[in-house]
Amino acid sequence: MVQRLTENGNVIGYRALPFTGAMPPLETMYIEGQEGIFLLRGRKDISALERIIIYAEKEYQKPDCKLFLLDEIGGIELVSQEFMKPLQQILLGGKPCIGVLKSWQNLSHAESVLKLGHNYTAKHIELVRLIQSKGKLITVTRENLRRARSIVSQFADRCVQNI
């Protein structure tokens, strides 16, 4: 999952962290030395994301992993083959997976602010195609929020029933 890091009430960075069971808070105060920071005050460290997806893919392979949650994929990690290879293994692995894919609007913003290069959009399109080949993408808006929640809830219920 991705956790926002704050300082004096402002978001200054993001970190990736694994969890099993209860989900950690989506936002926490920045503390120097925290693990998994991949974006801090405009500086990016994709290696933090690479380490977390390699860990996640190992957890995914365990027999007791029944449902996999990915939080806002499709960001700066798209340019890293070291990240994308394990992600592809997870998405093609056959276990139920649910997650958040970075929106086109957020993608465009990240691309310009972080200067990610012209192939960034193409990489996002590749990821969308991979997801669509094995599953379903739902765009959540204010208008369809209730319906989207219902779809996600039904999916999670089916996964839990099969455990």
CA 162 to chain centre: 24
The domain of 121 spans 2-161
Instruction: Give 123-143 pLDDT, tens digit per residue.
Output: 888 888 888 888 888 878 888
pLDDT of residue 101: 82
Over residues 15-27, mean pLDDT: 87
pLDDT tier at 115, thresholds 50, 70, 90: low
- Short-list 61, 129, 54, 44, CA closest to 87: 54
- For residue 127 the two structure tokens come to 């990821």
pLDDT of residue 114: 65
pLDDT of residue 4: 95
CA 52 to chain centre: 11
pLDDT of residue 27: 96
- Quick check: 71 and 125 in contact, CB under 8 A? no
pLDDT tier at 163, thresholds 50, 70, 90: low
pLDDT tier at 69, thresholds 50, 70, 90: confident
Instruction: Give 151-160 pLDDT, tens digit per residue.
Output: 888 888 888 7
| Entry pTM | 0.81
For the chain, what is the domain count? 1
With a cut of 80, say whether residue 96 has pLDDT above it.
Answer: yes
From first CA to last CA, the distance across the chain in angstroms is: 22
- Quick check: 83 and 50 in contact, CB under 8 A? yes
